[in-house]
Structure 1
Amino acid sequence: MSDQTSQKSAPGTSKEGFFARFIRETEIDTRLLGMLGALALIWVGFHVYGQLVNGFGAFLTPRNLWNLSVQTASIGIMATGMVLVIITRHIDLSVGSVLGFCAIIMGVMQVNILPQFLGLGHPLIWIIAIIVGVICGGFIGAFHGALIAYGKIPAFIVTLGGLLVWRGAAFLVARGETISPVDESFSLLGGGPYGAIGSTGSWIIGILGCAAVLGLIIMGRRKRSVHDIRQRPVWAEGFLALVGCGAVIGAVLLVNAYPWPRGIVRRYAEAEGITVPEGGLFISHGFAIPVLILMAVAIFMTILMSRTRFGRYVYAIGGNPEAAELAGINTRFMTVKIFALMGALTGLSAVVASARLGSATNALGTLDELYVIAAAVIGGTSLAGGVGTIYGAVLGALVMQSLQTGMVLIGFDAAIQQIVVGSVLVLAVYLDILYRSNSK
Structure 2
Amino acid sequence: MSLSSKQTITDLPANEIKGKRVLIRVDFNVPQDKSTGQITNNARIVAALPTIKYVIQNSAKSVILVSHLGRPNGSPNPKYTLRPVADELKKVLGHEVTFIDACVGAEVEEKVGAGKDGQVFLLENLRFHIEEEGSKKDDSTGQKIKASPEAIEAFRLSLTKLADLYINDAFGTAHRAHSSVVGFKGEPRLAGFLMKRELEFFSKVLEKPEVPFLAILGGAKVSDKIQLIENLLDKVNKLIVCGGMAFTFKKILDSVEIGNSLFDEEGSKKVHDLVAKAKKNNVELLFPIDYICGDKFDKDAARKTVTDSQGIPSGWMGLDAGPASREEFKKSILSSKTILWNGPAGVFEFDNFAEGSKAMLDACIEACQKGSTVIVGGGDTATVCKKYGAEDKLSHVSTGGGASLELLEGKNLPGVANLSFNFKTPPYHL
What TM bracket, shorter-length normalisation? under 0.3
| Bigger fraction of residues in helix | 1
TM-score normalized by the length of structure 1: 0.22
| Bigger fraction of residues in strand | 2
Whose RCO is larger (CA < 8 A, sep 6+)? 1
TM-score normalized by the length of structure 2: 0.22
